[in-house]
Amino acid sequence: MATEGKNLSYYDESDLPDTSEMRIGLVVSEWNSDITENLLKGAIETLHRLGIDDERITVWHVPGSFELVYGAGRMQKNKFIDAIIAIGSIIRGETPHFEFVSQATAQGIKDLNVQGETPVIFCVLTDDNKQQAIERSGGKHGNKGVESAVAAIKMAWLKKNS
């Protein structure tokens, strides 16, 4: 398990660039909203802690993780956004649907990163069960939203300075 022994909420603030001019967008799936709202909360609290106020944060909701790609693609067209965090939660069920949605979402976000000018951070949990999702959205493994906010700041800096 990739998160075994790792806390997703740990970061060293001194390693991060200045955020005073950064604008971050978040596209959030409504499916498994108890999980995605925890991820969103972790991301926004981290952005606030690192100096990005609500006026420089844009949040859009989409129905499910599959729709994150479209939402993030539309947000990329906003030239004022420096990085986007795509937040979703896909939990394995009894059919192959999990694999289809997980793969399509990952490929779509990868394509946005390759083809677009604005980086899109993959904050989509793909867990075998609800308990794993809980553990990664504010539970014993921390909050992937925190880690994604830090990644967004680093990638926004790269976008502005490359």
Give the residue numbers annotated as catalytic, written as ranges: 97
- What's the sign of the alpha-carbon dihedral 40, 94, 135, 142? negative
Q: How far apart are CA 157 and CA 35, in angstroms?
A: 28
Question: Are residues 137 and 145 in contact, defined by beta-carbon separation less than 8 angstroms?
Answer: yes
Selection from 135, 123, 122 nearest residue 40 by Cα: 123
Report the distance separating Cα 67 and Cα 92, nearest Å: 18
Query: Are 142 and 136 spatial neighbours (Cβ–Cβ below 8 Å)?
Result: yes
Determine the Cα–Cα distance for residues 74 and 30; give it in Å rounded to an integer: 17
